[in-house]
Homo-oligomer: A and B are copies of this chain.
């Protein structure tokens, strides 16, 4: 299986995506192709030797081969005509906008390129934190209570609260507010990134568990369950460090009963359209009840550090990708009208 790794794009998490791709390169035994999407949404074929963060930040990537996305694949121009980039399956490793909001899924599906990643509908639902709540409720998984504010609205929740832009991954624009005096600034920060802001109660010391997985042959293949390191919440840099460390995470020390509950909740969420993706669900556990915190449909470096057999997992997933419904267009309708009414 030859993988292509798609990363970058126009996103607040553009840089995270670069780091994520570099981390994945260091994990994979088989050498993938690297396709970088820059902030102007131009695609480039990056050679493995150039997969270093400063190759991108310096702008040197522009000397790489430019690619064109067309029916069937990414193509490089050349003296002897166009040549398709040889990859059997692409991994959508674009975080945040363009990658997780459904755009990349749409482009790849439209042009019939096979990929690991959430499909359009699942992307749209998990990119928007309010829609994620609706999805969880529909799936029968609990969520914390929440409000959605637009600019000028006031929250009815008692402090402490956590504020999050509705449509961002990572921890960008997120603040914990414990005192009234901090509220206005936290709102301003969150509204920098979206027109809608999600407010939830902030629960000091709440138990958190992360679980990743994907569906293979009709069954969920689960990662280990991780209890992420305790911090008020992970900021941008900490999150990056967590998935680029390249060391295997440790299994959380919890009861088999709780593990089973977390897995059941994961499966309920995954069944709402995530076929073809390897996702990570972040859960809270309060009074032995599982609550969905968020869905990472393209987790950093594909959460490889949570799997004992990551490469085997994605190879199996690559053989289990959903196919678009086959639609026959035969012009029966137009032909019937044309013959009934004369030429249209």
Interface residues of A (CB under 8 A from B): 10-12, 14-16, 18-19, 22, 39-42, 52-54, 56-57, 68, 70-71, 97-98, 101-103, 105-107, 109-112, 120-121, 124-125, 127-128, 130-131, 134, 138, 193-194, 236-237, 240, 325, 327, 329, 331, 333-335, 337-338, 343-344
Q: Are A334 and B54 in contact (CB under 8 A)?
A: yes
Q: For residue A16, which residues in chain B have a CB less than 8 angstroms away from its CB? A: 333
Cβ-defined contact, B124 with A236, below 8 A:
no
Contact check, B97 vs A120: say whether CB atoms are below 8 A apart. Answer: no
Considering the chains assembled together, what is the distance between the CA atoms of A70 and B41 in angstroms? Answer: 10
Chain B residue numbers with a CB within 8 Å of A98 are 110
A101 touches B120 (CB 8 A): yes
Complex partner residue of A22 from B97, B125, B128, B344, CB under 8 angstroms: B344
Q: How far is B102's CA from A343's CA once the two chains are assembled, in angstroms? A: 33
6 A–B contacts from the bound complex (CB under 8 Å): A19-B334, A57-B331, A68-B70, A97-B325, A102-B124, A124-B125
A201 smallest CB distance to B (angstroms): 20
Asked if A106 meets B97 with Cβ closer than 8 Å, knowing A334-B19, A334-B53, the reply is: no
Cα separation A243 to B330 with both chains bound (whole Å): 22
Report chain B residues within 8 Å CB of A111.
41
List chain B residues, Cβ under 8 A from A337: 53, 237, 240
At the interface, is chain A mostly helix, strand, loop or mixed? Answer: helix
Please determine whether B121 and A18 come into contact, CB atoms closer than 8 angstroms: no
Partner of A107, one of B12, B107, B112: B107
B-chain residues with CB within 8 Å of residue A109 when the two chains form the complex: 103
Residues of B with C-beta under 8 A to A121: 101-102, 124, 127-128, 131
* A103 in contact with B110 given A15-B333, A57-B338, A334-B56 (CB within 8 Å): yes
Q: Is the CB of A334 within 8 A of B11?
A: no
Interface pairs A-B: 8 shortest CB-CB: A106-B106, A57-B331, A124-B124, A53-B344, A103-B106, A39-B329, A57-B334, A15-B333
**A327 and B236 contacting across the interface, CB-CB below 8 Å:** no
- With A110-B107, A111-B41 as known contacts, state yes or no: A57 contacts B335, CB within 8 Å: yes
Complex partner residue of A40 from B71, B107, B127, B338, CB under 8 angstroms: B71
Give the chain B neighbours of A138 by CB distance below 8 A.
Answer: 130, 134
The distance in angstroms between the C-alpha atoms of A22 and B334, with both chains bound, is 12
Q: Which of B39, B131, B344 contacts A54 (CB 8 A)?
A: B344
Chain B residues with CB below 8 A from A103, complex form: 106, 109-110, 120
| Contact in complex: B331, A56 (CB < 8 Å) | yes
Name 13 extra pairs, CB < 8 A, besides A10-B329, A53-B337.
Answer: A12-B327, A14-B329, A15-B334, A53-B334, A54-B334, A56-B334, A98-B110, A103-B109, A105-B106, A106-B120, A124-B125, A237-B333, A240-B337
The one of B71, B102, B105, B131 in contact with A41, judged by C-beta atoms closer than 8 angstroms, is B71
- The minimal Cβ–Cβ distance linking A76 to chain B, given in whole angstroms, is 15
Q: Are A52 and B134 in contact (CB under 8 A)?
A: no
Residue of B nearest to A332 (CB): B15
Residues of B within 8 A of A338 (CB): 53-54, 57
CB-CB under 8 A from A236, the residues of chain B are 333
A41 to B325, CA, bound (A): 15
